[in-house]
């Protein structure tokens, strides 16, 4: 196991060595290489990916085995929950904290790769309050309503772990173990723990209601929650939804809520993934 962890970590760092060293956000990040340690369909990881993609920050991706976490063998502070982002030798934990820290650095430098971004512009009190309210809602409500939908049936639970067979430098046994054990674990957790903890009776109906709530109350008559350009709340909601774009859940949300026009505007605003392996998010 130790050898596998070392090999995985080395492979991730070797991949990083081939990545571009410059980005339009270098003024904020000092030219440091950015690496994201993730699970491909993790909603919190996808919040971070949407943020990085929107601001044109090139980043290496290391897919972490959800069962062994061997790719995190280098971690010394005990925090092994993904997403983890490294900026050079600096380690950042927790999706909301990562986004907040990078936003602070970009704001201070006035740097962003996206011409439509808010960096360098003065943010009003109302803007900041609306952004904070809805980014908090994503973490405390939206993610937890979405999750039971992904694992609503056994077939959907298994599909949610299909990525493990296509992404990451895993052997056959590692892939299949993570796929089947992970699917079984999350199916049980979603039905026996998450729905009860978050007061969810009908997962689809609750998800539809939360999507419509975001459109009605956060976006309203604006193009985005952020106004004419997305803010962090927009990026977080978009990232969470984009994580399940190949799932039945996503198709149902697009067909049964008012969120599609906003989502399509977000797709255009965020643009293609800026991860250095050339894969789509």
- Strand 90-93 relative to strand 34-38, pairing: unpaired
Question: What gap in Å lies between CA 68 and CA 47, rounded to an integer?
Answer: 23
37, 45, 51, 250: which is the annotated catalytic residue? 45
Residue 5 burial by CB count (10 A; 0-12/13-18/19+): exposed, middle or buried?
middle
37, 44, 151, 214: which is the annotated catalytic residue? 44
For this structure, is 42 an active site residue?
yes
39, 170, 208, 250: which is the annotated catalytic residue? 39
42, 211, 225, 236: which is the annotated catalytic residue? 42
Helices (H) then strands (E): counts for the chain? 13, 4
Write down the H helix ranges in 171-247.
Answer: 172-189, 195-197, 203-213, 232-242
> How many CA atoms are closer than 13 Å to the CA of 74, on its beta-carbon side?
17
For this structure, is 44 an active site residue?
yes
For this structure, is 39 an active site residue?
yes
> Which residues, 6 or more positions from 123, have their beta carbon under 8 angstroms from its beta carbon?
none
Question: What gap in Å lies between CA 34 and CA 167, rounded to an integer?
Answer: 19
Active site residues: 39, 42, 44-45
């Amino acid at each position: 196991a130790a050898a596998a962890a070392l090999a995985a970590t080395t492979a991730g760092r070797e991949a990083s060595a081939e990545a571009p060293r410059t980005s339009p956000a270098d003024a904020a990040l000092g030219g440091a290489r950015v690496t994201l340690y993730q699970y491909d369909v993790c909603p919190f990881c996808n919040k971070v990916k949407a943020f990085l993609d929107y601001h044109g920050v090139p980043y290496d991706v290391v897919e972490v085995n959800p069962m062994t976490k061997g790719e995190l063998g280098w971690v010394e502070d005990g925090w092994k929950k993904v997403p983890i982002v490294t900026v050079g030798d600096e380690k950042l934990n927790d999706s909301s904290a990562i986004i907040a820290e990078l936003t602070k650095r970009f704001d201070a430098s006035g740097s962003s790769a996206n011409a439509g971004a808010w960096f360098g512009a003065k943010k009003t009190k109302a803007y900041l309050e609306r952004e904070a309210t809805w980014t908090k809602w994503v973490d405390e409500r939206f993610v937890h309503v979405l999750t039971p939908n992904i694992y609503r049936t056994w077939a959907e639970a298994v599909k949610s772990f299909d990525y493990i067979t296509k992404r990451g430098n895993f052997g056959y046994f590692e892939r299949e173990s993570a796929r089947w054990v992970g699917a079984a674990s999350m199916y049980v957790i979603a039905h026996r723990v998450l729905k009860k903890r978050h007061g969810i009776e009908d997962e689809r109906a609750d998800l539809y209601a939360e999507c419509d709530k975001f459109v009605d109350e956060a976006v309203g008559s604006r193009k985005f929650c952020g106004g004419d350009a997305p803010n962090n709340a927009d990026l977080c909601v978009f990232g969470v939804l984009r994580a399940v774009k190949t799932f039945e859940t996503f198709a149902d949300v697009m067909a049964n809520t008012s969120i599609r026009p906003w989502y399509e505007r977000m797709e255009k605003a965020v643009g293609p993934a800026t991860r250095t392996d050339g894969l789509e998010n």
